[in-house]
Structure 1
Amino acid sequence: MDRLPLDFRTVLLHHLDYTFEKEAWQPSLAMALDGVTHAEALWKPAPQRHSIWQIVRHVTHWKQATLDAWTGVRPLFTVGQGETAYVSELERTDWAEVTGDAAAWQADVRALHAVSGEIRGRAAQLREADCLRPFPGEEMPLLLRVLRMATHDIYHAGQIQYLRALWRARTT
Structure 2
Amino acid sequence: MGNQDNSSLRKHLDNLLQMDGAHLSFDAAITDFPAALRGAKPAGAPHSAWELLEHLRLAQEDILDFSRNPAYVERTFPDDYWPASPQPPGDEAWQQSVRQFQQDLAAMRALIADTALDLFAPFPWGDGQTLLREALVVADHNAYHLGQLVYLRKLLEA
| TM-score of Structure 1 vs Structure 2, range by shorter chain | 0.7 to 0.9
Partner Cα separation in structure 2 for residue 30 and residue 67 of structure 1 = 19
2:64 alignment counterpart: 67
Partner Cα separation in structure 2 for residue 7 and residue 138 of structure 1 = 27
1:21-75 per-residue CA deviation (whole Å, 9 max, x = no partner) reads: x4x2231222211211222221111487211111111111111111111121543
**How big is the alpha-carbon RMSD for the aligned residues of Structure 1 and Structure 2?**
2.3
- Structure 1's consecutive aligned runs of 4 or more residues displaced over 4 angstroms after TM superposition are none
2:12 alignment counterpart: 11
2:118 alignment counterpart: 130
2:40 alignment counterpart: 43
Gaps of 5+ in 1: 77-85
Partner Cα separation in structure 1 for residue 12 and residue 45 of structure 2 = 37
Gaps of 5+ in 2: 1-5
Q: How many residues align?
A: 150
Structure-2-length-normalised TM-score: 0.82
Of 89, 92, 100 in structure 1, the residue corresponding to residue 79 of structure 2 is 92
2:3 alignment counterpart: none
Report whether the alignment pairs 1:32 with 2:23.
no
Q: Alpha-carbon deviation of 1:166?
A: 0.5
Structure-1-length-normalised TM-score: 0.76
Which has the larger share of helix? Answer: 1
Percent same amino acid among aligned pairs?
A: 28
Partner Cα separation in structure 2 for residue 130 and residue 71 of structure 1 = 12
Q: Alpha-carbon deviation of 1:148?
A: 1.6
Instruction: Please say if residues 29 and 156 of structure 1, whose CA atoms lie closer than 8 Å, have aligned partners that are also in contact.
Output: no
Q: Alpha-carbon deviation of 1:7?
A: 3.2
